[in-house]
Each structure stands twice: as C-alpha cells, then as structure tokens.
Amino acid sequence: MDYILRTVNVSKRYRADWVLKNVNMNIQRGDIYGFVGENGSGKTTIIRLITGLISANEGHIELFGIPSDSPEITAVRKKIGAIVESPSIYRNMSARDNLLMQSTILGINDEEKIKQVLCDVELGELYQNPKKAGNFSLGMRQRLGIAMALLGSPEFIILDEPMNGLDPAGIVGIRELILKLNREQGITFLISSHILNELALVANKYGIISHGSLIKEITDEELRNQCRPTTVIEATEHQALWDLLSKDFPAEDLLHLARGVRITGAVELNALLARIIEAEISILSVNCYKTSIEDYYLSLLGGGRHA
C-alpha cells in the first residue's frame, strides 16, 4: 500500500504526563483522513509530531515511507503543507503580500504560483487587491491559509480544526475546497476536528482519539454500516418469523434473537408487517432504532446512547 503517513507506537510525554500512548495511524495516498477527538485528546500534539515541531519519546513516524529518524526526513517534509491551530497570516498585509512573504521563506518567488494558488482557493480577486488580511472574514483567512499551504505544491495537507468559528456558509466553502483539491489535484488530507458529523461530509477514513490513545481507525463505509437503521420484531412463532425473513434479507443483515429477529438496514416496514400478518405470525412488538454518527462516536468513548 502507498502510505503517506504511518505512526508506529508513537508516545509523547510532557514531564510525567503521557499525552500520547502507542498511537498507530495509517493514511494512504488520496485519503481525506478525519482525525476526531474531544478537545485535549492529543490531536494537535500528533500534528506537531508529524510536522517536526516536536519529537516523540517513544515510537516513530514514517512520511512517504521515510522514518522520522532518517536524514531524508527534512526533504520529505517539504511535500507537506500544514495549518496548525490557525493560519500564520500577517493581518496588516494583503493576500498577495502574505503569499509573497511565504514564497520567499520557501525559496519559490514565483508570481504566477501566487496567482494560481489564490485562484485554487477561489480568492483570485484578491491578487491585486490591497485589502489587509485583518479585514477578511474568518472563512477568507482560512482560505488564504490553505493558499499558503499550497505554495510548495504539497502532496499532503494537514488542517488543524479548519472549521472552528466559521459560519455555515464558511464551513460549506472550506468543505467544498477540500473535496476539490483532493479530487482535482490528488492531495491527501489530514483534518482534525471534534465534530464528527462535519468530517463525515468529506472524509473517507477516520481516526478516533481519546485521552492520547487512538481507539479506532474506520473507513467511511464501515462507519455508515455501523450507523444503519435496525428493526427488531418479536413474535410468538419466532422460528416461523426467521424462516419468512430469511427469504427476503441477506443472512448478514439478520440476527436470530430469543423471541424474534433483528434486521439491520432499511426496510419497508408497512409491507413487511403485512407479509408477517398474512403468514399468520402473531407479532408481539416492533422496535426501530437509528444509531447516529454521534451516537456511535460516543459509544466508542464509553458514553453511547440510542436516539
């Protein structure tokens, strides 16, 4: 597999407190990886390790197949663009001047590249506009931050809580931008957030972290399977009910219970109940459940509930 990032048993300690404990993350090329956890769970610490701002006490990180203790790691990190906590924007400078400053740091000094990245984030109208970044909306500043991350033509972009504080229109705009850059330029993303519902609109894979431990990695398909609706039907003739439903539903969607059957997945309930009654099977109870993405997340953290 073509991994952009792997963390191998990574642990980090500040004095006597372990803030990360044996974290194993796996991000493949082309992923939009949603990194989910409550505030203080360790998301930003992992991002700082990946970007080289701090180092691990135990374990190691591999970027593009290169381990973090290799002399090549500095060159490999040039393939990364990152916004950690908030974009490093000079508020008294225009969008173009901010990008000029960043391009000088990167040794690029390419005016066409500056114009291109502004267009990539749909801020092309600011190329010649002297308006200071301090007067931009928060959404515009987030886009400018992403433009700065794009200057080095990265293959991997890390965004730390990019939707924080944005209004609904700003959130939609950033979400659409991420999808566009992933689809059109093949950029791999790591996006941290404490809002799983928002990440579920962009991510194809998730890492769920809590109190410094990565408790699960799950694909979007697996997550949605966990959140499929469930119908439990109890009947006096539960074996007859099982035999009837086995003809209409895949075996993996059925579970034989002590007094009935659990069906996982969408059902046409009225039509199904009519069939059961027609078969002269006496229904004792019908219960329908829907596990939301938030419910599933809370269940992993030990605070699950059913809505």
Task: Give strand pairing partners of 66.
Answer: 63
Burial 41-72 (b: 16+ CB within 10 A, else e): bbbbbbbbbbbeeeebeebbbbbbebebeeee
| Residue whose token pair is 């086995």 | 246
User: What is the Cα–Cα distance from 178 to 198, expressed in whole angstroms?
Assistant: 13
Catalytic residue check, 161: yes
Pick the catalytic residue: 62, 72, 85, 161? 161
Sheet with 260-264, strands from edge to edge, namely 254-256, 260-264, 229-235, 283-290
Q: What angle do CA 306, 43, 10 make, to 5 degrees?
A: 110
User: What is the Cα–Cα distance from 65 to 30, expressed in whole angstroms?
Assistant: 15
Whether the CB-CB separation of 203 and 12 falls below 8 Å is answered with: no
3-state DSSP assignment of residue 150: helix
What phi and psi values does residue 289 have, to the nearest 5 degrees? -130, 150
User: What is the Cα–Cα distance from 200 to 296, expressed in whole angstroms?
Assistant: 12
What is the DSSP secondary structure assignment for residue 94, as one 8-state letter? B
Please enumerate in sequence order all residues whose Cβ is within 8 A of that of 81, keeping only pairs 6 or more positions apart, or say none.
146, 148, 149, 150, 151, 152, 154, 156, 157, 158
Residue of 77, 79, 22, 11 whose CA lies nearest to 45? 11
Residue numbers annotated as active site: 161
